[in-house]
Structure 1
């Protein structure tokens, strides 16, 4: 199984509960499972890990390291037809230009999962809100529409067996 991470998974982990300087085991484990091929980030979502405040700056520096990029980066180009399918079926077939700005990189993440739906799971911290429509839809709801599996960080960590003493 390949877990595809939304940038918000690592941003939220660093900002709220697994800060790089406080829980280095999480980040070492993340590199370990990424290097083993269980976790990847499409280039489009990996590029979202940018600085902006002190906590994000540490994450940006971590994500900029070559060993991190080598381990985490999904080395495949996105299929443009799948991106179009995600947008048309998951959001709306007639989005306006201003709505495209709201999508961010989510259609790319979901399109990468759609490439092999039996073997890939999207991981996102977005919370389902089925009442939202069009470009405001959340990743879990778009995944559900497209029959893709989606997990939040804690479901993913449980499925992957993360623990802080993972090396022992």
Structure 2
């Protein structure tokens, strides 16, 4: 099966703001654009909405990419898995109440990304890194996608991994 990439908003926002500005490295964005037609790049509808809120060049670029697969997070399967993700955050003992409160906000994409990836066998592309050293003796106040995704058998990786898999060179 061909690997499909579910892209976290930070995997577009961080390069746009810090590494690959449109005016300095347009080739990066052109290469990503070419890959959208492959059907391997997936945006969760709430991630697209988060990017759109920026009302900037990145939002304009994303809107022009007709080849992105847009995944609607409102499906019975994804909602069911989302509830499991939140229940895990609440019950596992590794996180403080603050982590659950943050992730339970319906506008926060992280638990929805994990749920959609689990249901559709996507690899999440994110700039987040695992917390490391999670312990019930010292619960964390922030949940990280790679840590929680691992519990649900969801693969996560970074932007460079995706670029290598798609043969993107700039």
Q: TM-score, normalised by structure 1?
A: 0.79
1:157–1:10 distance in 2 versus 1, CA, 3 Å = same
Partner of 2:155: 149
Of the three residues 62, 68, 73, the one matched with 1:72 is 68
The match for 2:145 is: 139
Report the 3-state secondary structure (helix = DSSP H, G, I; strand = E; otherwise coil) of the residue aligned with 1:162.
coil
Quick check: 1:103–1:135 contact (8 Å CA) kept in 2?
no
CA displacement 1:1-43 (0-9 Å, x = unmatched) = 1000000000011111111222222212222212211111111
Gaps of 5+ in 2: none
Q: What are the Cα deviations for residues 93-148 of structure 1, in whole angstroms up to 9, with x where unaligned?
A: 4967744249811111111111133xx20000011103465661101111111111
| Residue pair 1:92, 1:135 contacting (<8 A) in 2 also | no
**What RMSD in Å do the two structures reach over aligned CA positions?**
2.6
Task: Give distance in 2, aligned partners of 1:103 and 1:59.
Answer: 20
Q: Does 1:37 align with 2:39?
A: yes
Paired residues, number: 155
